[in-house]
Copies of this chain bind each other. A is one copy, B any other.
Amino acid sequence: MKNNQFAIAPADHQQRVTELQTIHLLHPDEEQQLSPNQLWVKLLTRIHIADHTPALDHEWLNSLLATPDQSITDWLNQNLPLTNRVFYLVALQLLQFEPAIDFAIDDPLTGMEKIQLPMEHHEHWTTANVIDAFYLLLNTRTKLGQNLLDRLTSQGMLTWTYALPANQKPIYFNGKPIASFDPTRFIREVVYVETDMDTDYDGKADLVKVEIMRPADSNDGLKVPAAFTASPYNQGTNDKWGEEITHNVNIPLTHKDPHDQSPAEPDFPMTFTKQTVNGESQTAAESFSTTPAYTLNTYLSVRGYAIVYASGIGTKDSDGLQTCGSPEQTDSMKAVVEWLHGDRRAFTDRTSGIAIRADWCNGNVGMTGRSYLGTLATAVATTGVAGLKAIVSEAAISNWYDYYRENGLVMAPGGFQGEDADVLAAETFSRTKSPADYRRIEATNNRYMKGLAAAEDRTTGNYNGFWAHRNYLPNVDNIKCSVMMVHGLNDWNVKPVNVKNLYDALSGMPNTSKLILHQGQHIYINAFRSLDFSEMINLWFANKLWELDNHADELLPDVLVQDNVHPETWTTYTNWSGNQSTTLNLTNNSLTTENATASGRVKFNDHQDDATYQKWCQKPAEWSQALLNDFDGHFSAHFVSTPLKKDWLLRGTPTLKVRVASSADHGLLSARLVDRGSAKRLTVSPVILAKDGLELAYHFGKDDLREFQLQKETTDAKVISYGHINLQNRRDASSVDDLTAGKFVDVELPLQPIFHTLSAGHQLELILFATDYEMTLRGNEAISYQIDPQNCTLVLPNN
């Protein structure tokens, strides 16, 4: 195991003493009165909270090794001075590392180094040294994916703090609030925020349901910040309906007329009435028991953050329709932030007109969540709404065109062929879950959905007004909050171009922004063993939302990237792209930095026999494998570099220029970039190391501890980037160019951005082809394509 911690804040001796006293581990005057060994034993027994008698303390000290052959009790009998080896052999055991498995019992210091655990060495240990080293140890991560203090907290060491008066909270330790808020006393309440729109055409302003879970202390005068997750999924989903209206993709691409126009999107009423206020209540009238939770929020909840969930318009118990990423959906979530900040009204229910304020909130809001949830965090941030101080935008869409379309093509999110904006709208329209409410809105929604499906325009695949409404990038300069972006370099669902464009747009702005790129697909990373992500967020939110001056921005790396070769390896950078770029030329079969030698045209045909076609439509992963093995070029063209002499780090957006001809008056070009070379690569998904093995608090919330590991078997190749373009969208996605059968055209295609180390001995491979069975339409037309390699290049940004 390798430990990677970024949220340990530097602290001087006095701060360590004060904080250890605050959590009752160190008592006043002990530094002066106790010898190093005496204090060390005191601290050891105090963190073993299961024991209540000297006999049990003795047993416990007798179960830990101080030297390879002596327990702590045995060793203490010799009255020897504390040493680095003794302190850290015990430390390793406290951190749950096991002799022989994780470290060599006779060399704990090398073990600490190998696992990347922080140490403080002393030739002669003083009592002050023990205090300092123990403080650092409490901030050090255990083998179980949480720092030692969090582990002790989850065992109940800090439950006494629950009873402290509200004005003594939060309690900070090493720059982060500790879990001092009693989850059994959490207030769970529901309010209905009023918006400024009427998306269900009923003449009344849409109300949006909000679920709040906050500490009881926030009723006793403590103003707390809110961690708000905007999740259209939280009130339920219509999976079967979504399946039913998923689009047939086994149809051919067609020639586009440059004059074709997309149908306009349905618009919403400009006039509607607002609720009459009939009074105000200090307490909510509705509660809830549970709502689907992001475990990061659960971790934060006991640390004093109010946790807020809203599903927005078109969901159960709210008004409105599902518009899939439209400005109205954004505004319905922005309204929640405004209410939390005191700038908008909410009601205790949908009819009585009794208003209710978020008096318990300190006005600072952070937004969290992945995928659609992170997307809406990004979208709300681009409104510049007051009160929103920070967002963690995970696997988020920055432009819905980059989710459902690409360069004039209909494009599926990986794994969801045939999905589109209308399908997602249907899936998330959870007003179905209140059957009588649905009966009343059904006709209206069906009418709207018809308009939505037309406006998304699968016929042309062009960028149009519908997609422009759902592109947050032009509004990035409105963002006032700090932004932490988290994205998987292997996310084929929300593709990396989404985060790269947001990152680039933010890079010139004064807001602090942070970027974490991991080796996962479309996943959360808060339960990884190798990275202290939850602590990083707690540190960052302490700064942004609790307004604690903890230097979070300086401590957290600007760009943090998980290595694709070595497991559990996270490296910091100052930016995504490298300073250089390399231009590779294409020849018949090669990718080379040398000038292209004279090279004939390369041809391939997109048509498959019917059995193969049917099989690949059923199992696109088999097509993907066949593509990698299609060296003879039946339906693709392969260009391969010579084996690399040394590791090569590629970082940024590769750009491909291709001269290509289609045998028809329409066509597409697809590209995959491949890391070719036999290696044991990281697992595609993180492996569960311990189901429910991560306790988020004392008897409150668990998560599965996870980590990427090396696969047991070698693989020969891994796709690292890809791109697709309609040959009729050579200028841009909104402009249609003409195309003549057999005539060569030049296209420029930016591929998905990468951050990838090609290992020495590996080869870089470019595959050009047409139909992508996993993502594009699959018409199986007998179209042949010609590539003119001499007029093709691949530009790779790199170190």
Please list the residues of chain A having a beta carbon within 8 angstroms of any beta carbon in chain B.
49-53, 55-56, 58-59, 62-65, 68-72, 74, 93, 98-99, 101, 105, 154-156, 183-184, 190, 240, 285-290, 317, 348-352, 432-437, 439, 695, 698-700
Contact = CB atoms under 8 A, between A and B. Distances in A.
A699 B74 CA distance: 44
Given A50-B287, A154-B289, A290-B695, A55 B435 contact: no
A285 B436 contact: no
A59 B349 contact: yes
B436 A59 contact: no
Contacts of A288: 50
Nearest to A352: B55
Given A65-B439, A69-B439, A695-B290, A53 B434 contact: no
A285 B349 contact: no
Contacts of A289: 50, 154-156, 698-699
Given A56-B349, A59-B351, A285 B51 contact: yes
A255 B49 CA distance: 59
A100 B62 CA distance: 65
Given A62-B437, A65-B435, 13 more contacts: A50-B190, A51-B285, A52-B287, A53-B285, A55-B285, A58-B351, A63-B434, A63-B436, A64-B434, A69-B439, A98-B432, A154-B289, A156-B289
18 contacts: A50-B190, A50-B288, A52-B285, A53-B349, A55-B349, A55-B350, A59-B349, A63-B434, A63-B435, A63-B436, A63-B437, A64-B435, A71-B436, A71-B439, A74-B436, A98-B433, A98-B435, A105-B435
A55 B278 CA distance: 13
B99 A435 contact: yes
A286 B65 contact: no
Contacts of A698: 289
B56 A285 contact: yes
Contacts of A63: 317, 434-437
Contact of A93 (B53, B64, B155, B435): B435
Contacts of A64: 434-436
Contacts of A700: 699
A737 to B, nearest CB: 42
Contacts of A71: 436, 439
Nearest to A693: B292
A436 B105 CA distance: 11
Contacts of A184: 184, 699
Contacts of A350: 55, 59
A670 B69 CA distance: 50
B285 A352 contact: no
A478 to B, nearest CB: 36
A702 B56 CA distance: 33
A439 B155 CA distance: 26
Given A63-B437, A71-B436, A93-B435, A56 B699 contact: no
A504 to B, nearest CB: 36
B286 A56 contact: yes
A771 to B, nearest CB: 24
A55 B64 CA distance: 61
A93 B437 CA distance: 13
Contacts of A58: 351
Nearest to A75: B436
A699 B52 contact: no
B190 A65 contact: no
Nearest to A155: B289
A428 B99 CA distance: 17
Contact of A699 (B99, B156, B290): B290
A51 B56 CA distance: 49
A183 B700 CA distance: 12
Nearest to A154: B289
A184 B185 CA distance: 10
Contacts of A68: 439
Given A50-B190, A350-B59, A65 B290 contact: no
Contact of A50 (B55, B69, B286): B286
Contacts of A434: 63-64
B349 A436 contact: no
Contacts of A65: 435-436, 439
Contacts of A53: 285-286, 348-349, 352
A732 to B, nearest CB: 41
A286 B52 contact: yes
Contacts of A101: 240
Contacts of A290: 155, 695, 699
A695 B288 CA distance: 14
A52 B191 CA distance: 13
The 6 closest A-B pairs by CB, nearest first: A71-B436, A63-B434, A155-B289, A55-B352, A53-B285, A65-B435
Nearest to A700: B699
A182 to B, nearest CB: 9
Contacts of A435: 63-65, 93, 98-99, 105
Contacts of A287: 49-50, 52
A184 B700 CA distance: 10
A299 to B, nearest CB: 16
A702 to B, nearest CB: 8
Nearest to A704: B691
A156 B188 CA distance: 12
A317 B58 CA distance: 13
A527 to B, nearest CB: 13
A451 to B, nearest CB: 23
Nearest to A281: B53
A351 B436 contact: no
A342 to B, nearest CB: 24
Contacts of A154: 289
Contacts of A437: 62-63
A647 B70 CA distance: 69
A55 B351 contact: yes
A695 B291 CA distance: 12
A604 to B, nearest CB: 31
B352 A436 contact: no
A796 to B, nearest CB: 38
A436 B93 CA distance: 10
A544 B156 CA distance: 35
Nearest to A433: B98
B699 A436 contact: no
Contacts of A62: 436-437
A534 B59 CA distance: 39
A208 to B, nearest CB: 15
A356 B58 CA distance: 20
A495 to B, nearest CB: 25
A128 to B, nearest CB: 28
A55 B207 CA distance: 15
A725 to B, nearest CB: 34
A352 B699 CA distance: 31
Contacts of A351: 55, 58-59
A436 to B, nearest CB: 4
Contacts of A59: 349-351
